[in-house]
Structure 1
């Protein structure tokens, strides 16, 4: 069992053996779209944390290989952590 628990989840978190449900063609198309949106924003000088994280989440969804998926999810977690740190560093300034 995972130690992470959210509202609506069983006490003690979710079981470790849930299926990943990643790597299908729809997720791969979604990743391509997320990349295009992120890249377009970067070219216009309008890149945001949301776009960066969204692309990395879709990259994980598009991945079928368990070892690569684990690496992608580590990148998702690192990006989310870095974004949270950036928010804290800004203090009270608006997003």
Structure 2
């Protein structure tokens, strides 16, 4: 499979980006299979390396990887904040 990369990346950033795109393409192909019996299940999707972000661990010094993990932490905090607000709102509503 050929993965086209940005020409501005070099070294471990390029390798990390290539691995990231390869895993994304793999997941996408599995999700788009026409035969439902061969299509990836939701449970297996949640365990895929692209979703779990286990594949970038091979590139700990890559700024691309560091940025990805920082973005994931931000999303987790925002999601947690949203869930807390939603819980607070639902606790204050009358049945």
TM-score bracket for the superposition, by shorter chain length: 0.3 to 0.5
Larger RCO: 1 or 2 (CA < 8 Å, sep 6+): 2
Pair member with larger Rg: 2
